[in-house]
Structure 1
Amino acid sequence: MTHTPRLRQFALLCTSALGTLGWAAPAMAEMAADAADSPTIIVYGRPDGYDTEKTPTATKTSTPLVDVPQAMNVISREQLNDQGIDSLGDALRFVPGVVLGQGEGHRDQITLRGQSSTADFFVDGLRDDAQYYRPLYNAERVEVLKGANALIFGRGGGGGVINRVSKAPEYDRTRVGANASVDTFGGWTLSADLGAPLSDTIGTRINAAYEEFDNHRQNYGGHFIGVTPTIGAQLGEATTLTVTYEYAEDDRLTDRGVPSRAGQPLTGYDATFFGSVDLNRSEVTAHLAHMRLDHAFSDSLSANFNAQYAHYDKYYGNVFPRAAVTAANTVELTGYNSTTVRENGIVQGNLVWTGDTGGIGHTLLLGFEAATQDTAATRADARFGGATVTSVALAKQITLPSGITFGPITSSSVSDVRALSAYVQDQIDIGEHLKLVAGLRYDDFRITSTNRINGFKGQRSDGKWSPRLGVIVKPQDNLSLYASYAKSFLPQSGDQFTVLDATTQALAPESFRNLEAGVKWDISTALAFTLAAYQLDRTNTRATDPVTGNVVQTGKSRTKGIEASLVGQLTDGLQVSLGYALQDGEIRATTTAAPAGRRLAQLPRHQLSAWGRYQLTDKLGIGLGLLHQSSQFSTISSAVRMPAFTRLDAGVFYDVSDRIALQLNVENLTDADYFPSAHTDNNITAGEPLNAKLTLRVKY
């Protein structure tokens, strides 16, 4: 197998991106000709540390994390580098309260506070909801905001949202960075991070990555190509324009793991691929273009305007186990393929005023958002001769019948989503020790769809209010005690909104109500502690059917939990990221899917994560990590229990010089056999055995 054509494509994309920057720079330079001073750069993370002091994401204003009345975890670029993490899913494993779903082997899927989602993903605060795997080569940090978040993010986000913050253009330095890594499975990655000012008022940055996939599973492989050029311009002393474009191409084998046997994941077959090498494929091409304009009218009044266009073109096909291994050691297989073409358009504007009224301080936010989402989707079932199901003998290497194909299209639809929102929020300072955060959002959400198979035309319109209230008591500047209430909603057509039927057209949106209380303590300027307790109620709920994987209605559910984290510099030379979550959740209304009292799926009672890096000398550092997850049910059937597991990781870091560094990361030191995620009772992911990755980092 040769990688030369792909590498040529990667190089061509990088060259084109650089050419685009070169074309755009003179025009922006002309617009900025009157600017006398270099722009002010605001850095929210602390250089070379894991802790983050503030973020604009949680409130759309620049707010210290200690003053945000909700649990929030931030994974810094430094921590991502130290752990050798390239993908969003791997990063989220170390966040308390986040449980990874398998996502059918072709997408990111998470369960946050007991709520599963494929769509609660954002880039720089704007929705990125297509079903695909998100890389991190162009991300400065990853933010996880817990609880209902509709005031800031709109629909969905009942259990929380995931936001990637992009790397910013360079105004005051020249950056040349490159990484190369290879792992013991044979996978490898090349990436570059280049930045430079073109003038006092023009900054540029380009990030690019090529990754070749491999792991412990039979037949697994694929590649990723990503290129992200960014250019920023200071259009006068008070105005900044930033333009970003991202191209992402992901092509990989679709792997849906192993089936179950006797109520447990099938063991002894961790490498066995229960699919077709020819038919199991996921191919995604994504284009995202983003523009942000910031303007300060005065020291107390500012505004920003954001616009994003995204186009996703996706195909995936899969053959997978549909039932448990039988007493006769046979496995039933089924399959299907799907195509999705989606276009998203978003415009968003925010006006922020800070000031006093009668001795009371205010940070007032007024904003709007308008969004469109157009989707065309098809699906066809696999054909095993004249049947849609086949049975094969269990073996280390599965033998499939010949002549498997995908039949005629069985599902075809187009949908059109239009959403218009307005919101207001006030962060109120009452004296030195009391703060309030109060806000209200109204969403007008409309979806129309056409089932191109049976001709059904569905239409639904919902107008929903989403409030948020937080009370913060600050005994001292670095310590806060808070309580909050927030509400969110999700229209009843699945979080991807592909098609309405007669049932979903008639159902009111799902509702999420989150009550939370917590403590935030900035122990030092580089170390932060958070403790939160919550109760999340979901009504008009739906969940994944244990057999088909389709969404079914389950009535009501409640999740309760406690989350704690400690992130930053614990002692001189020691950076840590520690997290713990205690969770419990149950269905509270009997339906045909499950009885009241049944435990929620993919909700382990205990989750513990720990990672630390200690600098032994000026040149040598070591890292140690731990992941523990107690047992969990794979679906709401409670028929298959995934066992508890503990995984140990390690790292060694050596600076050859100021410009060259070597890094060795080892995962699963004890070679534990574990199953971290699932999609159905018989699509269960087998965790990776002992493996290592060597990384070379070069910077100038």
Structure 2
Amino acid sequence: MNNGGAARLQKRGRVVVIASALMMTTALAPAVLFAPDANAQVSAGGIDAEHAFDIPAQSLTSALAQFGVQAGVQVTVDGALARGIDAPTINGTMRASTALEALLRGSGLDYDVTSDGTVVIEAVTSSAGEEVLETLRVEANAPEVADPTKAITDSFVVSRSRTASKTDTPILDDSSAVSVVTQKEMETRNVQDLQQAVAYTAGVQAGEYGSDVRYDYVRIRGFGQQNLGAYRDGLPSRIYNFTNSRPEAYGLQQVDVLKGSTSSLFGMNGPGGLVNMTTKRPQDEASGEVLTTFGENHLRGAGDVTGPVGENSNWSYRLTALWQDAERGQDYSQDDRIYVAPAFSYTPNLDTKLTILTSYSDRESGLGYGFPAGIETSRDAFFGEPDFNNFDTEETNIGYELSHQINDKLEFRQNARYTHVDLTYETVYLNDTTPLGDRWAFAIYGELDRFAIDNQIQYDTAISDMFDSKTLVGLDYSRDQNRERRFDGTASPIDPYNPSYCGMSCIDIDFTSDTEITQAAYGLYAQEQLTIADDWIATVGGRFDYVQSDTDTISSGTTDERDDHKFTSRFGLTYKATNEVSVYGNYSESYQPVYSSLASRPDGVKPQEGTQYEIGVKYQPEAIDALFTAAVFDLTQENVSQYNSATRTYHQIGEINSRGLELEGKMSLGEQTNMTLAYTYLDAEIKDDLTAANIGNRPANVPEHQASAWLDYTIPGQGALGDLTLGGGVRFVGERQRNDGNTETLPSNSVFDAAINYAVTDDVSLSVNATNLLDREYVSSNTFGSRYYGDGRTVLATLKYSW
């Protein structure tokens, strides 16, 4: 079991470990839960006093530590007794005894209260007698301890994740590689979008198309994941053709990157992995912030408030809102946003919680452009038409998450979301071939309706003294309907070196097509996490997917229909060498249907399939708040779609292999230092291709080496001076090939970021963040005959008041 959570609480809350538990030499007899002795009462409050509790689901050791903090009592527990036991979420105002009974329910443990008010956790023993065990003492002084509800946001490090296994599992225990970007890290770097959020993550290549801001372009382990690999609160946010909206980074409290094939739990996905974004949730303790961010052609106002609806209420709320009027680096660009996200949580009792998540987003954006070969001009130059340069999206979401503890061992969870997106996409762009200056015009008017729901049953039990079982069974469904009306045409030529714009009168476009893509996906999955003798954790999972895809070309009256189905599996094994170190291995599979027209595929349509083998080690020291991971992997994707320009048809003979190494470390050392380190080595190779000469080459835009580092340090204030935080980072991307033919190499680049934050008062702070501090000009990719430049230097200042 991972006791790192308790160690971190120890550091933040002055929780002191006095003695370590001795190893048990004999197993405890099976036990049943019984009510505590009614005579075990403490005067002046103690175990019978009411408190506001907010203890997330986690290991029992960590949960008991937080219980002691929030109840203001001393707790002692033998480390061996609590090993391998998970505690449920405790949320609400109640007697301390009620909260403690809920934490211990089904654990085979009970408690007693000594004459000095100390709470002693003990095993329920058989009539054969008791075993006396030395204890791990946890001391708590509630008024001096930092608010535990902010434990995630006050650190770059978390110890648990639901993304990797869809269960609340310590990262140390899971047999897969997962990286978590916390709200604290996002705030420190002042991230403006998802690409910036994951830019310091091992195995991830972000911002491949530089100034192109239509979507969040993310590669994981060499494979593009922007179409199928985006998830919000565990539910898919897939992209079909063009219609989709980017998430608002200010509305996120955490971003998880799960690496490798994931279809055994999440269904259709690429082999590289997925990104799961967690929306900000209501908190039981009132808090909030308002801020303004300003820079060159950039003005933002935002606020985030949360707390209980009323005193002793079962309801809590959160309202997150943002307004922005901004431009990006390229001429005639814009980045205007409105975002409003009300959320509510209802907790009628300890066993049930309902969270309602809604949001509205309106973004008015321009488009980033590639520069055709042969044109050498400013990276901010604009070759389109200012009045026909829009990528505007309006998105509405309404969803919920429901959890209900049916009994001590059985829990039901359900989350669902409905999404509607409207898109206006209008652009004029340069032809990427001679003669230079010729321009094309293009427009898409799209409408997307998406519904997704995921139902889960989790059953936890101890099979014997040797085995603990965590069984998950799920059924999910998603339906996406995407209708797009397309227009194509031309615009008057332009001199790229002295552009003169002519307005709407020189644009000539005609209606091309009206297409509706409907895809319904059904998934049934099961997973078993079996803990053997506390040290071995075997994870076995499987999933059956059935996908119905219809492409209805309304303009021509034709329809392509087909059904796909696939069973995918996962096998993983983790060995807990110590409470701080685990070693793991896994095999997993991916499944990626192809929804394009059957008519363009003379050899039929087959799903793209992937397999992965991975081994790794994780180290989470108890003495400091840190997590270090290393992984080596071998990924292969088959049936990769390839386009034959001569026949204008697609064929699925492509095969790509990606092998590599990932190293990552995250540390929050005290309240003064945060650090991230990441390195990725990728040995990627084309194994099969329509063009025989490409076989053995490196896939386009996949670097062999990537690295990043971030460090910030806080100089404590003295007297009238407040804390001063200085931070800086570097992101390195190595050489990569322009195309699969490997006819041109793009040079490596290093980009530096920086941050300064000054605490004017306890509640007011002023920060300045810079990305690409040295204004490095570099080509992020060279695709479709055009060069895409990375963003230039951006400097933003933020004045924030929080309470």
Return the TM-score normalized by structure 1.
0.87
In structure 1, C-alpha distance between the alignment counterparts of 2:152 and 2:581, rounded to whole Å: 19
2:306 is the counterpart of 1:195: yes
Match of 1:212 in 2: 325
Match of 2:610 in 1: 512
2:458 is the counterpart of 1:352: yes
Match of 2:288 in 1: 176
2:756 is the counterpart of 1:652: yes
Match of 2:675 in 1: 576
2:607 is the counterpart of 1:503: no
Q: Deviations over 1:158-187 (max 9, x none)?
A: 21111111111122x11121121112x311
Pairing 1:487-502 to 2, within 5 Å after superposition: 487-493=589-595, 501-502=599-600
Which amino acid letter does the alignment assign opposite residue 53 of structure 1? S
Pairing 1:667-682 to 2, within 5 Å after superposition: 667-677=771-781, 679-682=783-786
Match of 2:768 in 1: 664
* Cα distance change of structure 1 residues 699 and 375 upon mapping to structure 2, 3 Å threshold: same
Match of 1:252 in 2: 365
Q: Select the residue among 197, 221, 237 that pairs with 1:113.
A: 221
Is the 2:217–2:225 contact (alpha carbons within 8 Å) kept by the matching residues of 1? yes
Which amino acid letter does the alignment assign opposite residue 203 of structure 2? G
Is the 1:289–1:309 contact (alpha carbons within 8 Å) kept by the matching residues of 2? yes
Q: Deviations over 1:445-490 (max 9, x none)?
A: 1112211233221111111011011111111122111111110111
Is the 2:153–2:183 contact (alpha carbons within 8 Å) kept by the matching residues of 1? no
In structure 2, C-alpha distance between the alignment counterparts of 1:692 and 1:549, rounded to whole Å: 46
Other structure's SS at 2:776 match: coil
Is the 2:724–2:758 contact (alpha carbons within 8 Å) kept by the matching residues of 1? yes
Other structure's SS at 1:311 match: strand
Match of 2:448 in 1: 342
Which ranges of structure 2 fall in alignment gaps of 5 or more residues?
1-90, 104-146, 718-722
Q: Deviations over 1:265-299 (max 9, x none)?
A: x6542111122212121111111111111111223
Is the 1:178–1:193 contact (alpha carbons within 8 Å) kept by the matching residues of 2? yes
Which amino acid letter does the alignment assign opposite residue 582 of structure 1? Y
Q: Select the residue among 281, 294, 297 that pairs with 1:186.
A: 297
Match of 2:405 in 1: 296
How many aligned residue pairs are there? 650
Q: Select the residue among 604, 608, 612 that pairs with 2:707.
A: 608
In structure 1, C-alpha distance between the alignment counterparts of 2:472 and 2:549, rounded to whole Å: 28
In structure 1, C-alpha distance between the alignment counterparts of 2:442 and 2:643, rounded to whole Å: 17
Is the 1:205–1:231 contact (alpha carbons within 8 Å) kept by the matching residues of 2? yes
Q: Deviations over 1:239-279 (max 9, x none)?
A: 11111111111111122232234xxxx65421111222121
Q: CA deviation at 1:543?
A: 5.6
Is the 1:481–1:520 contact (alpha carbons within 8 Å) kept by the matching residues of 2? yes
2:273 is the counterpart of 1:160: yes
Q: CA deviation at 1:404?
A: 3.4
Is the 1:146–1:159 contact (alpha carbons within 8 Å) kept by the matching residues of 2? yes
Q: CA deviation at 1:562?
A: 0.9
Other structure's SS at 1:278 match: helix
Match of 2:263 in 1: 150
Is the 2:630–2:662 contact (alpha carbons within 8 Å) kept by the matching residues of 1? yes
| Deviates most, 48-57 or 131-140 | 131-140
2:184 is the counterpart of 1:86: no
2:485 is the counterpart of 1:383: no
Is the 1:149–1:158 contact (alpha carbons within 8 Å) kept by the matching residues of 2? yes
Q: CA deviation at 1:107?
A: 1.6
Match of 1:233 in 2: 346
* Cα distance change of structure 1 residues 476 and 322 upon mapping to structure 2, 3 Å threshold: farther
* Cα distance change of structure 1 residues 123 and 33 upon mapping to structure 2, 3 Å threshold: closer
Q: CA deviation at 1:685?
A: 2.8
Which protein has the larger Cα radius of gyration, Structure 1 or Structure 2? 2
Which amino acid letter does the alignment assign opposite residue 616 of structure 2? G
* Cα distance change of structure 1 residues 222 and 215 upon mapping to structure 2, 3 Å threshold: closer
Match of 1:22 in 2: none
Q: CA deviation at 1:42?
A: 9.1
Q: CA deviation at 1:411?
A: 2.3
In structure 2, C-alpha distance between the alignment counterparts of 1:505 and 1:611, rounded to whole Å: 49
Residue identity (%): 22
Match of 1:463 in 2: 565
Other structure's SS at 1:523 match: coil
Which amino acid letter does the alignment assign opposite residue 196 of structure 1? G
* Cα distance change of structure 1 residues 353 and 549 upon mapping to structure 2, 3 Å threshold: farther
In structure 2, C-alpha distance between the alignment counterparts of 1:570 and 1:581, rounded to whole Å: 24
In structure 2, C-alpha distance between the alignment counterparts of 1:194 and 1:552, rounded to whole Å: 52
Q: Select the residue among 250, 264, 276 that pairs with 2:385.
A: 276
Is the 2:225–2:274 contact (alpha carbons within 8 Å) kept by the matching residues of 1? no
In structure 2, C-alpha distance between the alignment counterparts of 1:675 and 1:231, rounded to whole Å: 44
* Cα distance change of structure 1 residues 179 and 155 upon mapping to structure 2, 3 Å threshold: same
C-alpha RMSD over aligned residues: 2.8
In structure 1, C-alpha distance between the alignment counterparts of 2:704 and 2:525, rounded to whole Å: 36
Pairing 1:558-597 to 2, within 5 Å after superposition: 558-570=657-669, 573-592=672-691, 595-597=694-696
Which amino acid letter does the alignment assign opposite residue 334 of structure 1? W
Is the 1:634–1:681 contact (alpha carbons within 8 Å) kept by the matching residues of 2? no
Which amino acid letter does the alignment assign opposite residue 182 of structure 1? F
Q: CA deviation at 1:688?
A: 0.8
Pairing 1:301-312 to 2, within 5 Å after superposition: 301-312=410-421
In structure 1, C-alpha distance between the alignment counterparts of 2:609 and 2:403, rounded to whole Å: 34
Match of 2:209 in 1: 102
* Cα distance change of structure 1 residues 66 and 411 upon mapping to structure 2, 3 Å threshold: same
Other structure's SS at 1:588 match: strand
- Higher RCO (CA < 8 A, seq sep 6+): 1
* Cα distance change of structure 1 residues 124 and 547 upon mapping to structure 2, 3 Å threshold: farther
Match of 1:528 in 2: 627
| Deviates most, 356-365 or 679-688 | 679-688
Q: CA deviation at 1:393?
A: 3.2
Pairing 1:132-147 to 2, within 5 Å after superposition: 132-147=245-260
Match of 2:802 in 1: 699
Other structure's SS at 2:620 match: strand
Match of 1:28 in 2: none
Q: Select the residue among 451, 456, 476 that pairs with 1:369.
A: 476
Q: Deviations over 1:87-120 (max 9, x none)?
A: 1122122222222332954122222222123321
Is the 1:310–1:345 contact (alpha carbons within 8 Å) kept by the matching residues of 2? yes
* Cα distance change of structure 1 residues 293 and 272 upon mapping to structure 2, 3 Å threshold: same
| Deviates most, 669-678 or 412-421 | 669-678
Match of 1:539 in 2: 638
Other structure's SS at 2:152 match: coil
In structure 2, C-alpha distance between the alignment counterparts of 1:544 and 1:478, rounded to whole Å: 49
* Cα distance change of structure 1 residues 584 and 504 upon mapping to structure 2, 3 Å threshold: farther
Q: CA deviation at 1:504?
A: 8.2
| Deviates most, 436-445 or 671-680 | 671-680
Is the 1:439–1:468 contact (alpha carbons within 8 Å) kept by the matching residues of 2? yes
* Cα distance change of structure 1 residues 674 and 547 upon mapping to structure 2, 3 Å threshold: farther
In structure 2, C-alpha distance between the alignment counterparts of 1:357 and 1:527, rounded to whole Å: 33
Q: CA deviation at 1:564?
A: 0.9
| Deviates most, 629-638 or 539-548 | 539-548
Is the 1:661–1:697 contact (alpha carbons within 8 Å) kept by the matching residues of 2? yes
Q: Deviations over 1:52-93 (max 9, x none)?
A: 110111111110111121221111111111111121122122
